[in-house]
């Protein structure tokens, strides 16, 4: 098959040679050049400044000392008589740092200072070129003024990106009253961060033309340049994907660190609490028994018996706290298969009297028969705590709903099947001020009547089973409803978390 000319791709218009040399003869315009090696900058500058000086025009260079020196040598090598151009006043090399000090005010490029200082330099250089041209006896043509500035690059390197962009704008403003062809240059290495993309584009838009780095401008053929562009596109694509991946990795690392810190904190507090609980449990038992015997002791009168009853009640509270804490930290028993229906019924039984006393209606809805793998004492404690809280939230009666159904949930990135138990009440609602800290130890709104350990302990137990516990509290149809939802994985998913 022969390829017709029309079907062949003409690439010359797609990747033109960067025509930076053409800008060297502009009489106006604001061109930015990016470069990797100083050598490359000096060479292009040598051509830009050299052409102007060679033609008897004026040139202003605001550069670092190293670049001014490099440029002076380059110009000499190109046969430019630098000294007499300086003497004539049409070549003005200025130090970038010193010049910057003159145009800045309170760390910001100042419009008036800039216009006066740089505007003055440009006018004087132009006049000098005019005079030199005149004294040469040549035909007087309006001389060009070319300028190179890298104060912007210094500002950029110092991280003062808005100042650099502002200074670019001041150059553009000056071009409205003075005619000159301006070249700026930035080392490409200064744009190595992703956050540089936006200011980089801004810099480009402040210029009438952009000269890419020498890795592009040095390419000789269209084919090479197209290859280069494709390669850059591929690199950009790969980098973008990599940045995304890194971000994700960083986020998951951060989350894991938080989880780990929480788990460590939890374990340490649990251990400490268990040790204390264990130590005080035995003497507590003894004291409780002593008060039990004292309660009906014949030697006590009615008021002394009253006092022992108060003491007994308080001791029973302390025993409750200590038992709760122990239940939370139980080390090496094996988890066994537990029927949640039975556990919930047993807990409702415990609370039967106070529920009735407070006029609380109970609505059960067991939609699942699944058994879970757990420590029976612990799982019972979870519902003792949750139903106990619901009860305390409804001192004037209400509706307690205890529901259970099959469910699934994504925990730590993996989907797990299991059962969900919902305990909901129509009580006072969870106060706004402690919503964020509800599961922290000692957070209570019940003054000395509460310990603030119930939810903390419950969450610890549920998390040990690979599950989760959440709550919702708010007004629905004018009624406050609070609902605690406990998810516990079952089957294979449970084995993985419990073992
Ligand atoms: P305690 O019951 O000893 O205060 P918990 O850890 O069990 O400790 O509960 C902490 C706090 O959470 C309670 O003091 C209460 O403010 C709030 N809370 C828990 N359950 C409910 C509920 N069902 N309704 C309203 N508030 C609740
Ligand atoms: Mg409680």
Given a contact cutoff of 8 angstroms between Cβ atoms, the answer to whether 90 and 54 are in contact is: no
Structure tokens at 420: 């969900």
Task: Give the pLDDT confidence score for residue 204 in this predicted structure.
Answer: 93
Please tell me the residue having the least CA distance from ligand 1 atom 7. 454
Please tell me the residue having the least CA distance from ligand 1 atom 21. 389
CA of 458 to the centre of ligand 2 (A): 10
Q: What is the pLDDT of residues 125-167, one digit of tens each?
A: 999 999 988 765 555 678 999 999 999 999 999 999 999 999 9
Determine if ligand 1 sits within 6 Å of the CB of residue 59.
Answer: no
Determine if ligand 1 sits within 6 Å of the CB of residue 429.
Answer: yes
Please tell me the residue having the least CA distance from ligand 1 atom 27. 430
Which 8-state DSSP code applies to residue 335?
Answer: P
Distance separating alpha carbons of residues 186 and 35, to the nearest angstrom? 7
Shared fold status for 25-218 and 331-499? no
CA of 146 to the centre of ligand 2 (A): 81
Task: Give the pLDDT confidence score for residue 472 in this predicted structure.
Answer: 96
Q: What are the domain boundaries of the chain?
A: 25-218, 220-329, 331-499
Distance separating alpha carbons of residues 315 and 319, to the nearest angstrom? 6
Question: Hey, which residues does 373 pair with through a beta bridge?
Answer: 337
Structure tokens at 261: 């810190």
Task: Give the pLDDT confidence score for residue 496 in this predicted structure.
Answer: 58
Please tell me the residue having the least CA distance from ligand 1 atom 20. 389
Given a contact cutoff of 8 angstroms between Cβ atoms, the answer to whether 154 and 64 are in contact is: yes
Structure tokens at 225: 């340049």
Distance separating alpha carbons of residues 341 and 349, to the nearest angstrom? 12
DSSP code per residue over 119-166: HHHHHHHHHHHHHHHHHTTS---PPPEEEEE-HHHHHHHTT-HHHHHH
Pocket test for ligand 1, best of 320, 394, 444, 451 (most atoms within 8 A of CB): 444
| Nearest ligand (C-alpha, residue 390) | 1
Phi/psi for 397 (5° steps) reads: 85, 170
| Nearest ligand (C-alpha, residue 426) | 1
| Nearest ligand (C-alpha, residue 439) | 1
Determine if ligand 1 sits within 6 Å of the CB of residue 143.
Answer: no
Burial 189-227 (b: 16+ CB within 10 A, else e): ebbeeeeeeeebeebeebbbbebbbbbbbebeebeebbe
Pocket test for ligand 1, best of 389, 446, 485 (most atoms within 8 A of CB): 389
Determine if ligand 1 sits within 6 Å of the CB of residue 450.
Answer: yes
35: left (phi over 0), alpha (psi -120 to 50) or beta: beta
Determine if ligand 1 sits within 6 Å of the CB of residue 457.
Answer: no
CA of 393 to the centre of ligand 2 (A): 10
Whether this model's pTM surpasses 0.85 = no
Ligand 1 atom closest to the CA of 449, numbered from 1: 3
CA of 318 to the centre of ligand 1 (A): 18
Neighbours of 249 (CB within 10 A): 10
Determine if ligand 1 sits within 6 Å of the CB of residue 438.
Answer: yes
The candidate with the shortest Cα–Cα distance to 97, out of 153, 50, 17, 180, is: 153
| Nearest ligand (C-alpha, residue 450) | 1
Task: Give the pLDDT confidence score for residue 449 in this predicted structure.
Answer: 76
CATH 3.30.565.10 fits 331-499, yes or no: yes
CA-CA-CA-CA torsion sign (280, 283, 285, 290): negative
Distance separating alpha carbons of residues 385 and 458, to the nearest angstrom? 7
Task: Give the pLDDT confidence score for residue 6 in this predicted structure.
Answer: 40
Please tell me the residue having the least CA distance from ligand 1 atom 8. 452
Given a contact cutoff of 8 angstroms between Cβ atoms, the answer to whether 278 and 326 are in contact is: yes
CA of 307 to the centre of ligand 1 (A): 29
Distance separating alpha carbons of residues 16 and 38, to the nearest angstrom? 24
Burial 461-494 (b: 16+ CB within 10 A, else e): bbbbbbbbbebebeeeeeebbbbbbbbbbbeebb
Task: Give the pLDDT confidence score for residue 7 in this predicted structure.
Answer: 40
CA of 446 to the centre of ligand 1 (A): 8
Half-sphere exposure (CA, 13 Å, Cβ side) for 179?
9
End-to-end CA distance of the chain: 69
The candidate with the shortest Cα–Cα distance to 424, out of 478, 483, 345, is: 483
With vertex at residue 249, the alpha carbon angle to CA 245 and CA 250, rounded to the nearest 5 degrees, is 115
Question: Hey, which residues does 415 pair with through a beta bridge?
Answer: 410
CA 478 to chain centre: 39
Task: Give the pLDDT confidence score for residue 12 in this predicted structure.
Answer: 47
441: left (phi over 0), alpha (psi -120 to 50) or beta: beta
Q: In the chain, which residues have pLDDT < 70?
A: 1-21, 135-140, 263-264, 266-267, 270, 324-333, 493-499
Determine if ligand 1 sits within 6 Å of the CB of residue 395.
Answer: no
CA of 481 to the centre of ligand 1 (A): 14
| Nearest ligand (C-alpha, residue 456) | 1
Phi/psi for 325 (5° steps) reads: -65, -40
Q: What is the pLDDT of residues 83-128, one digit of tens each?
A: 999 999 999 999 999 999 999 999 899 999 999 999 999 999 999 9
CA of 444 to the centre of ligand 2 (A): 8
Q: What is the pLDDT of residues 351-370, one digit of tens each?
A: 888 899 899 999 999 999 88
The H-or-E segment that residue 360 falls in is strand 360-366
CATH code of domain 25-218:
3.40.50.300
Ligand 1 atom closest to the CA of 484, numbered from 1: 23
Determine if ligand 1 sits within 6 Å of the CB of residue 446.
Answer: yes
């Amino acid at each position: 098959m022969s390829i017709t000319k029309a079907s062949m791709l003409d690439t010359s218009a797609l990747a033109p040679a960067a025509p930076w040399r053409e800008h060297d003869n502009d009489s106006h315009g604001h061109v930015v050049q990016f470069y990797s090696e100083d050598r490359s900058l000096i060479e292009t500058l040598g051509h830009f400044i050299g052409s102007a000086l060679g033609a008897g025009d004026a040139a202003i260079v605001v550069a670092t000392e190293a670049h001014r020196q490099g440029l002076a040598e380059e110009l000499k090598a190109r046969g430019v008589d630098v000294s007499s151009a300086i003497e004539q006043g049409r070549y003005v090399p200025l130090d970038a740092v010193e010049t910057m000090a003159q145009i800045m005010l309170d760390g910001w490029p100042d419009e008036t200072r800039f216009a006066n200082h740089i505007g003055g330099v440009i006018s004087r250089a132009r006049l000098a070129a005019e005079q030199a041209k005149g004294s040469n006896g040549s035909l007087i043509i309006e001389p060009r003024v070319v300028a190179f500035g890298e104060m912007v690059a210094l500002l950029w390197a110092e991280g003062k990106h808005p100042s650099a962009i502002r200074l670019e704008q001041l150059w553009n403003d000056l071009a409205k009253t003075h005619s000159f062809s301006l070249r700026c240059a930035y080392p490409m290495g200064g744009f190595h961060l992703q956050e540089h993309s936006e200011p980089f584009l801004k810099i480009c838009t402040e210029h009438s033309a952009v000269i890419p780095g020498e890795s592009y401008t040095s390419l000789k053929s269209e084919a090479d340049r197209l290859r280069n562009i494709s390669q850059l596109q591929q690199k950009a694509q790969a980098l973008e994907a990599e940045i995304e991946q890194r971000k994700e990795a960083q986020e998951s690392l951060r989350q894991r660190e938080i989880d780990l810190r929480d788990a460590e904190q939890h374990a340490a507090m649990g251990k400490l609490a268990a040790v204390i609980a264990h130590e005080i449990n035995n003497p507590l038992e003894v004291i409780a028994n002593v008060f039990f015997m004292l309660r009906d002791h014949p030697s006590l009168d009615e008021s002394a018996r009253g006092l022992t009853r108060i003491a007994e009640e308080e001791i029973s509270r302390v025993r409750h706290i200590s038992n709760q804490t122990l239940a939370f930290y139980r080390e090496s028993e094996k988890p066994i298969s537990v029927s949640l229906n039975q556990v919930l019924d047993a807990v409702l039984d415990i609370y039967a009297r106070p529920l009735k006393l407070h006029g609380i209606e109970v609505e059960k809805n067991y939609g699942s028969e699944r058994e879970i793998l757990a420590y029976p004492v612990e799982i019972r404690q979870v519902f003792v705590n949750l139903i106990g809280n619901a009860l305390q939230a409804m001192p004037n009666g209400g509706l307690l709903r205890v529901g259970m159904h099959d469910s699934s949930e994504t925990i730590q990135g993996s989907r797990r099947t299991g059962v969900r138990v919902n305990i909901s009440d129509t009580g006072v609602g969870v106060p706004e001020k402690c919503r964020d800290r509800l599961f922290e130890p000692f957070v209570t709104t019940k003054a000395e009547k509460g310990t603030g350990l119930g939810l903390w302990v419950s969450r610890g137990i549920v998390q040990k089973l690979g599950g989760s516990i959440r709550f919702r509290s708010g007004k629905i149809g004018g009624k406050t409803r609070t609902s605690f939802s406990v998810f516990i994985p079952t089957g294979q998913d449970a084995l993985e978390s419990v073992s």
